[in-house]
């Protein structure tokens, strides 16, 4: 008599074993991986407890020491500076009041002495007439007027403020976009594979004005386009197995579409090149570059990061026969403000400022146009799960308000960073690793459509998630 087969597939190792159901996620695990799964849950709980404790500590600090607020410090500094300015001006006026009369009297005394000598001379010579007397009288009148004018010194109070005025302005809070937390799968989502309705560990994504989605399908060595609301994609580049021929790709990591000529530009990482496909024509634009990301500004300049050289270069469209211009980094590997440690994805805003995912420094650097050093606008506080940290970020984009969005791949979330603030906020994800509609596994590419809907490349779920904007 054959033994009954009560074995099922373990979700983690994908092997037939005696499994146990996790009631939380409804997945089956073998005994070994059930223990591991429980450990992961315990770790997540510890993170939550740690975040709770830190938040509680911050609340207590604010209650106990409200005077430490930065605005109070600014007011105190203004008070000190204003007092110093007033004291300095008062001292200058005192000096003038003291010194001016003495200088004036010295001049009058000199004139009076000269007049006195003339009187003595006339008197001694006994040689004078009415003209001489009138002259002496007039000179004495002039000296008297001057001595009387000494009392006309006064203080003029200017209506203009001696020091800069300050006032407290309540912040006008801009309406920050929010998105539904349960996403719609708009590409892939049919398991890992090579089918036209499947993806395999994709990377960068691009949304055009018609809401068509272009995807760098990394392990399938192809670029696929999913028309809006389509059930499957179509191959627009590569898809001829892995290789270095012009019709082949080798682990493409990013794709953008030039909105002027609708050509497709691809970061062909494995072949260390950037290629362009226009209709059926293909050409290599840039060679010998280790790039994981691409960006194009409104003027048609192409930006390419090189994670091996730790720099970002810019090329003018149609002028790829030169080495381009270094616009960020280029000072070797490191964590200084003019350095990178593996720059991957980039975003360029309307002022041509370049935002660079400095992946192994776990930060985002902003380089204004023509700037020499950059500055940290996200992360930079060591790797971690706190809201002021990043952990292997793998995607970036921005909005019209100057806020940037980062796909933080190891924390399974997308965070928004407002310039000047030390901490981010979670906009989607952050609900643990999983394949539910509010979960992500290793998010990579990010993009917005014209309506403000947020698209996230859910890499290891092999799908593209659309988070609808809440109007």
Nearest C-alpha neighbor of 291 from the set 263, 265, 257: 265
Query: Which residue shows structure tokens 């770790």?
Result: 43
- 178-470: CATH, from 2.120.10.30, 3.10.450.50, 1.10.287.1080, 3.40.50.720: 2.120.10.30
pLDDT at position 317 is: 82
Domain boundaries, the chain: 178-470
Burial class (CB in 10 A: 0-12, 13-18, 19+), 84: exposed
Distance in angstroms (rounded) separating the CA atoms of residues 356 and 24: 38
Distance in angstroms (rounded) separating the CA atoms of residues 298 and 267: 19
Distance in angstroms (rounded) separating the CA atoms of residues 318 and 302: 10
> Three-state DSSP class for 215?
strand
Distance in angstroms (rounded) separating the CA atoms of residues 316 and 159: 54
Distance in angstroms (rounded) separating the CA atoms of residues 297 and 119: 89
pLDDT at position 120 is: 77
Find the helix or strand (DSSP H, E) in which 71 lies: helix 70-125
pLDDT at position 191 is: 94
> Three-state DSSP class for 217?
strand
Residues 6+ apart with CB under 8 A from 310: 329, 330, 331, 332, 333, 334, 339, 340, 341, 342, 343
Query: Which residue shows structure tokens 């008070």?
Result: 79
pLDDT at position 147 is: 67
Per-residue pLDDT tens digits of the chain, which is 471 residues long? 455 567 888 877 878 888 888 877 677 888 888 888 888 778 778 877 877 777 777 777 777 765 556 677 778 888 888 888 888 888 887 887 777 677 767 777 777 777 777 777 777 777 666 666 666 777 777 777 666 665 556 666 655 555 566 555 554 445 689 999 999 999 999 999 999 999 998 889 999 999 999 999 999 999 999 999 999 999 999 999 999 999 999 999 999 998 888 899 999 999 999 999 998 899 999 999 999 999 999 888 999 999 999 999 999 888 888 889 999 999 999 999 999 999 999 999 999 999 999 999 999 999 998 888 999 999 999 999 999 999 989 999 999 888 999 999 999 999 999 987 889 999 999 999 999 999 999 999 999 999 999 999 999 999 999 999 998
Burial class (CB in 10 A: 0-12, 13-18, 19+), 330: middle
Would the pTM count as exceeding 0.75? no
């Amino acid at each position: 008599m054959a033994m009954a087969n009560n074995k099922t597939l373990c979700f983690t190792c994908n092997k037939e074993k005696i499994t146990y159901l996790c009631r939380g996620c409804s997945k089956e695990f073998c005994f070994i991986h059930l223990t591991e799964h429980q450990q992961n849950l315990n770790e997540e709980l510890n993170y939550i407890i740690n975040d709770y404790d830190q938040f509680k500590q911050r609340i207590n600090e604010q209650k106990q020491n409200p005077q430490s607020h930065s605005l109070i410090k600014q007011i105190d500094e203004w008070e000190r500076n204003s007092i110093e300015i007033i004291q300095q001006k008062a001292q200058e006026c005192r000096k003038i009041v003291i010194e001016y009369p003495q200088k004036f009297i010295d001049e009058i005394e000199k004139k009076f002495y000269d007049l006195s000598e003339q009187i003595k001379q006339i008197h001694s010579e006994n040689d004078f007439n009415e003209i001489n007397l009138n002259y002496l009288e007039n000179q004495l009148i002039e000296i008297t007027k001057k001595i009387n004018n000494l009392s006309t010194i006064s203080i003029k109070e200017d209506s203009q403020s001696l020091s800069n005025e300050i006032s407290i302005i309540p912040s006008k809070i801009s309406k920050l976009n929010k998105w539904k937390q349960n996403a719609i799968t708009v590409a892939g989502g049919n398991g890992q594979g090579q089918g036209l309705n499947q993806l395999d560990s994709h990377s960068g994504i691009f949304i055009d004005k018609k809401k068509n989605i272009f995807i760098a399908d990394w392990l399938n060595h192809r670029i696929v386009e999913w028309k809006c609301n389509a059930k499957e994609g179509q191959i627009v580049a590569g898809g001829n197995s892995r290789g270095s021929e012009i019709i082949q790709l080798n682990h493409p990591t990013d794709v953008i579409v030039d909105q002027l000529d609708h050509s497709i530009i691809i970061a062909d990482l494995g072949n260390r090149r950037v290629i362009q496909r226009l209709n059926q024509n293909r050409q290599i634009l840039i060679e010998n570059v280790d790039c994981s990301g691409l960006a194009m500004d409104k003027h048609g300049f192409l930006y390419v990061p090189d994670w091996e050289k730790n720099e970002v270069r810019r090329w003018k469209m149609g002028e790829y026969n030169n080495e381009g211009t270094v616009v960020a980094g280029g000072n070797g590997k490191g964590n200084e403000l003019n350095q990178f440690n593996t720059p991957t994805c980039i975003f360029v805003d309307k002022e041509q400022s370049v935002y660079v995912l400095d992946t192994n420094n776990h930060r985002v650097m902003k380089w204004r146009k023509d700037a020499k050093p950059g500055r940290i606008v996200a992360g930079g506080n060591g790797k971690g799960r706190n809201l002021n940290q990043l952990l292997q970020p793998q995607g970036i984009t921005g909005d019209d308000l100057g806020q940037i969005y980062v796909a933080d791949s190891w924390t399974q979330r997308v965070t928004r960073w407002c310039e000047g603030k030390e901490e981010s906020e979670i906009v989607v994800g952050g609900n643990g690793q999983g394949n539910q509609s509010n979960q992500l596994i290793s998010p990579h590419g990010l993009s917005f459509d014209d309506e403000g809907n947020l698209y996230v490349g859910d890499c290891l779920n092999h799908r593209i998630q659309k988070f609808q904007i809440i109007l």
